[in-house]
Amino acid sequence: MEVEFLGGAREVGRSAVLVDDALLLDYGLLTADPPQYPVRDPEPDAVVVSHGHLDHVGAVPALLKGDRRPAIHWTPPTADLARTLARDTLKLHGNSPLCPFSAEHVARLGEVEHRHGYGEPFVVSAGGTDYEVTLFNAGHIPGSAHVLIDDSVGRSPTGDRTQSDNGDTRLLYTGDFHTDDQRLVAGTTARPDADAVICEATYADVTHEDRRAVEDRWAERVKTTIWEGGTVVAPAFAIGRTQELMLVAEANGLTPYVDGMGVEVTRLVRQYPEFLRDPEALRRAKGAARFVTGRDGQRERIARDNELIVTTSGMLAGGPVHSYLPEIRGSPTNAVTLTGYQVEGTPGRELQDHGRLAINGTVRPVSARVDSYDFSAHADRGGLESFLSDYEDARVLVNHGDRCEAFAGDLRADGYAASAPAIGDRVEL
């Protein structure tokens, strides 16, 4: 088996790994204007998608251009999230000639998709080889999957492993994963046998603060601010983070307003209770929340009204958060609680580092209190190490991180056969 890294190697964004020139794992977009795709415009026979985040699924409709019709395999939540994200991309960039796809390509998803649950092996034919593929819960967001690809399946009808030249490799592609439970999804526990592992490394340098302590600190800040007469704006990614904050809010007796794409995503994931850790808790959280329509100055009113507002976008790059922040920025009684990693160059990072609100070309001072909370959906250093401890004899290829090479070096020092391929690298397994 040979793998080629088309994106998401030594970087975060536009994930794409091509197996044997025919089977594609993920096809993501890097958020920028215009958005960036993986390299080399591949023409796979089949695609398996790990989860419904933009950097893993965002460019998939572009694979359906012309008469190309690769089969697409994913979980049901990923299938729906892919469409939600595609519609959003069209809304933002649809008029640009650089937009990677059109509404027509999105509509074609229905012609080629196959939906699979966790732990249900299926056969994918690509480039003349039959691969047995199995998805396992990755504990990142609803529907997120580790992808196990076994290329020996087509050559051994009894199911015994063969040593033919053609294939005897089991590759585990982790996608994004978390080893700890979140309120929305349970952490990953599956450790299928594999000869090679492509492992994400987003938080390879980080040790997360205990999750319950983060929740308590956040809830305390929200309660104190509201009690003192202020409003709290909690910018949050639509997929995963918004629902997680709703669950934390409900568990702490808080009744947030929820705004932005997270509203639609909440409805969407509730249709798949088997992919949630506690569907009943999410039902209660939805009951406690108030969804914002944004009509008739509603946002400005809410902002003045001593409330908790959970809204997109998580890094302040757009979305309804732009309506709330100008209203609350001037008073130290108000608070902004950043709930995720803020990428360099985003308005969220500017606020975090310099206490300035830089949106729509204007920079304004912020007197409101700004705090950061690590509600990560990724394994930290300890989580990555504990996951990989089940793969001591496997080849480990590190991807999806800012310091992949350093992490691979540390793994080598610990005795692993580890490396961090660059974009464009081909690796024989």
Residue recorded with tokens 């030249």: 165
Listed residue (200, 181, 199, 73) closest to 137, CA to CA: 181
* Options 172-180, 187-195, 254-262, 282-290: segment touching Zn ion (CB under 5 A): 172-180
Candidates 14, 53, 116, 178: give the one binding Zn ion (CB under 5 A): 53
Shortest Cβ 29–Zn ion spacing (Å)? 12
Stretch that binds Zn ion, among 46-54, 241-249, 298-306, 379-387 (CB under 5 A): 46-54
Q: How far apart are CA 63 and CA 106, in angstroms?
A: 10
- Render 199-249 in DSSP notation, one character per residue: EE-TBTT--PPPHHHHHHHHHHHHHHHHHTT--EEEE--TTTHHHHHHHHH
Pick 175 or 320: Cβ nearer Zn ion: 175
Shortest distance in whole angstroms from residue 142 CB to Zn ion: 12
Alpha-carbon span 117 to 115, nearest angstrom:
7
Q: Give min distance, CB of 137 to Zn ion, in A.
A: 14
Q: Scanning residues 229 to 248, which ones bind Zn ion (CB under 5 A)?
A: none
Q: Which is nearer to Zn ion, 13 or 230 (CB)?
A: 13
The nearer residue to Zn ion, 54 or 222, going by C-beta atoms, is: 54
Task: For residue 393, give the DSSP letter.
Answer: T
Q: Which is nearer to Zn ion, 176 or 180 (CB)?
A: 176
The only residue of 20, 113, 150, 176 in contact with Zn ion, by rule CB under 5 A: 176
Contact region for Zn ion (CB under 5 A) — 23-31, 52-60, 392-400, 408-416? 52-60
Q: Distance between alpha carbon 26 and the CA centroid of its chain, in Å? A: 12
Whether the CB-CB separation of 138 and 147 falls below 8 Å is answered with no
- Counting residues that bind Zn ion (by CB under 5 A) gives 2
Is 378 one of the binding residues for Zn ion (CB under 5 A)? no
Only one of the segments 29-37, 176-184, 225-233, 340-348 lies at the binding site for Zn ion (rule: CB under 5 A); that segment is 176-184
Q: Does 11 bind Zn ion (CB under 5 A)?
A: no
Q: What angle do CA 287, 291, 296 make, to 5 degrees?
A: 145
Judged by phi (left if over 0) then psi (alpha if -120 to 50, else beta), residue 65 lies in beta
Residues that bind Zn ion (CB under 5 A): 53, 176
